[in-house]
Amino acid sequence: MTTDPFALFDTWYAEARKTEINDSNAMALATVDASGQPSLRMVLLKGHGPDGFVFYTNRESRKAGELAGQPHAALLFHWKSLRRQIRIEGPVSLASDQESDAYFASRSRDSQLGAWASDQSRPLADRETFEARFAEMQARFEGGDVPRPPHWGGYRVTPSRIEFWQDRAHRLHERRLFTRSGDGWREGLLYP
């Protein structure tokens, strides 16, 4: 057993990438607004390591507005095929422009164009309006690279707590909690 939560995450994540049929990198992202109203949605993990867990989105979206006002979040990975979950909590910061540019460049062209065409989280009168905006972006960037929109980029959740939950028979589950302590981690168990 490891006492390094990132090594344990890497092991579990590698197993999930082999067993989960779709989106093994899908994670629930929980934020709160200024009044404390929670909001939850699925996003995709696009980078991770000792410095945190990274996802990308429109920085004018609802989640971005909530993170600007309350820069803390919770993440949840649930891998049903493995009967495991990982909960992560911590402060949130912006990923660098260099990281955001590099990831944006790796996306499919249609995903890049969609980032320009979408006013994410804002009301949309009808689907045709969005499709017309997408066609406008296709024409605008035809024959060239699609640069990262200025309103689009990454976020990093730097964990202060990481909990590993493993299903066990008769609901006698195993819960390992890692809590940041200075430059290291304190580990303990929780009752199921």
Q: Which residue numbers are catalytic?
A: 171
Residues linked to residue 43 through DSSP beta bridges, in sequence order: 27
Residues linked to residue 87 through DSSP beta bridges, in sequence order: 76, 163
Question: Could you tell me if 54 and 115 are in contact, meaning their C-beta atoms sit under 8 angstroms apart?
Answer: no
Q: How many CB atoms lie within 10 A of CB 160?
A: 14
Please name the residues in contact with 42: beta carbons below 8 A apart, sequence gap of 6 or more. 26, 27, 28, 29
Strands of the chain (E only): list them: 26-32, 38-44, 47-49, 52-58, 72-79, 84-94, 152-157, 161-166, 174-181, 184-190
